[in-house]
Amino acid sequence: MDEIQNKETNYTGSSIQVLEGLEAVRKRPAMYIGDISEKGLHHLVNETVDNSIDEAMAGYCTHIEVTINEDNSITVQDNGRGIPVDEHPKLHKSALEVVMTVLHAGGKFDKGSYKVSGGLHGVGVSCVNALSTRMMSQVFRDGKIYQQEYAQGKPLYDVKIVGETDKRGTRQQFWPDASIFTTTEYKYDIIARRMRELAFLNAGITITLTDLRPGEEGKLRTPEVFHAKEGLKEFVRYVDRHRTSIIGDPIYLKTEKNNVPIEIALLYNNDYSENIHSYVNNINTIEGGTHLTGFRIALSRSLKKYADNDDQLRKQIEKARLEIAQDDFREGLTAIISVKVAEPQFEGQTKTKLGNSEVSGAVQQAVGEAMGHYLEEHPKEAHQICEKVVLAATARIAARKARESVQRKNVMAGGGLPGKLADCANKDPHTSEIFLVEGDSAGGSAKQGRDRYSQAILPLRGKILNVEKVQWHRVFEAESVMNIIQSIGVRFGVDGEDSKEANIDKLRYDKIIIMTDADVDGSHIDTLIMTLFYRFMPKVIQEGHLYIATPPLYQCSYKNKVKEYCYTEQQRQNFIDRYGDGNPEAIHTQRYKGLGEMNPEQLWDTTMNPETRLLKQVTIQNAADADEIFSMLMGDDVEPRRVFIEDNATYANIDA
């Protein structure tokens, strides 16, 4: 008790630490950029490019060049107006230095400079500066080149003129601080995805991405140019390119309602999932928000009104005694929604849900008008869409009957959980986990090797259904799928409704871990299960509950003295390099072809023990890209899948 009182007495004004300038960013970087791993590293590029995109949205920039330099630094150059360099009236230093060294300083907070800004959701280029060992800013303005360099966010000298030019714009180059980030190696594909997305969202702008790092055999990658003349129309075609459209050209609108610029493009395809991707000021709002709500309401109203006025469709619905639900209007729908909001209010778990109430009404009005015109002017396509809606309603009712049938069987069998499930003793979902295990053999080893208090095991027998290719109700007729759904506690059709949205409020486990063989068949099963969660239970992924276990590829031993599990081919080679002494009989490698080859103790030590295992969390960094990849991998189009596998073979465990 005395110790506690002494500590309280020492809590005085001198205990309060004031971090000046950008020191707070360096002290707590994750507060500003999310994390200090690969995601945070690439966020630096996005923040820097955002400044150039703001210039583009304001109408002053048409070309942005992004370069990954050979030393892994990043250069971003645009042809905008250039950051002002004259003296700031309050701080009495160059405006460039203010922008680069003061948090929350920039033209985007002045609505006279930028009407809307994507950067309002971010942290600004000053954070990029703070988290870089070195950064150099060059501004091309008024025929001159202005320059200032920084070390860990601190200016090395005053802004100075270093030459003359006929260019205009801003050039930023930064070197991420290796003492802060766990990795400083940029991945081309991650940057390329975001640049492609920005080009789609900002029609007419050109973004060039160049990688100056030597690739295979010392060859340089050809620079990639991203440009979308038709904006979201091209975006929705790109996302849906592995599906078959039933209406031809996208339905498209670009307008402004209540001072909210709105752009939307949508297609209907012959698949069964809904794929809507929404953006606010170029920010991917993965949790949706008021703009998405307004879109869904207006779309449903427009299609329902059209169906009610079509005698043939109305009679068909009445004959089948169908009650059309909102979900039915969105089966087979792919849509991109982009709005620009001057003062966006974000909420939700990841601050990616728009909360501005006025945006819902603006989107409803815009979509209602556009859909009304389209349906009147395109009767053939309108009829095809409504036929799709009727089929969706029929499938939804069949899905409810299938679920009820399975639930009745479980009740008759004496329990609400599948008999194959070996549950854990712990009933606290926050400290429990379930392994979805491929095959009975591995399932047996996992049951014996697990921690029975906190780890449940569900063996998966037979082939997992490819949900990408089947109607909604067929999924609930598949025993393997229903076993997963019932085991983890996900519910559909809550409170008597036939909603397709998965309710995970009563999720029974904090971690759902896919555990399959470390071979190509195991990877295929991983993909099938991930597709099930992505299409039917996306909240499980969004809230961070889905993982993939990483069993070892090899057990390596040396003279029966040293034993080591190797999870990658590189680790195996490192083991050989460390212990290789020219004696072939002393280099022994056991390749694990399947989980069933490991005894319970080995499976626990390598793959299940929370203290030693390696889990990969499944995340959705970019929903549009994830949607496109899943439809390509699990769809009917063979050629794109073959090319994808060939391009990514170096990242996969491919057995001969």
Please identify every residue annotated as catalytic.
438, 517, 519, 521
Contact by Cβ (8 Å): 270, 240: no
Using CA atoms, how far residue 136 sits from 73, 100, 250, 461, 525, in Å, is: 11, 10, 44, 58, 48
Contact by Cβ (8 Å): 370, 253: yes
Using CA atoms, how far residue 633 sits from 327, 481, 518, in Å, is: 25, 19, 19
Cβ atoms within 10 Å of 397's Cβ, excluding its own: 18
Contact by Cβ (8 Å): 88, 98: yes
Cβ atoms within 10 Å of 546's Cβ, excluding its own: 24
Tokens of 209: 């991405």
CA distance 298 to 478: 34
Q: Phi, psi (5° rounding) for residue 376? A: -70, -35
SS (H, E, C) 33-47: HCCCCHHHHHHHHHH
β-partners of residue 175 are 134
Contact by Cβ (8 Å): 295, 262: no
Using DSSP, state whether 20 is helix, strand or coil: coil
Tokens of 509: 């486990």
β-partners of residue 75 are 67, 173
β-partners of residue 347 are 353
CA distance 473 to 401: 9
Contact by Cβ (8 Å): 500, 392: no
CA distance 378 to 358: 31
Going by C-beta distance under 8 Å and a sequence separation of 6 or more, which residues neighbour residue 477?
Answer: 402
CA distance 599 to 588: 19
CA distance 614 to 631: 28
Tell me which residue of 565, 547, 545, 546 sits closest to 555, measured CA to CA: 565
| Residues in the chain, overall count | 656
Tokens of 84: 């002002």
| Sign of the Cα pseudo-torsion (343, 348, 349, 350, in order) | negative
Q: Which residue has the tokens 């899905």?
A: 399
Going by C-beta distance under 8 Å and a sequence separation of 6 or more, which residues neighbour residue 119?
Answer: 47, 50, 51, 54, 106, 108
Using DSSP, state whether 266 is helix, strand or coil: strand
Amino acid at 192: A
Going by C-beta distance under 8 Å and a sequence separation of 6 or more, which residues neighbour residue 401?
Answer: 473
Helices 623-634 and 232-239, axial angle in degrees (round to 10):
40
The enclosing H or E element of 536 equals helix 520-536
CA distance 347 to 369: 29
Tell me which residue of 525, 526, 491 sits closest to 505, measured CA to CA: 491
CA distance 413 to 301: 44
CA distance 526 to 522: 6
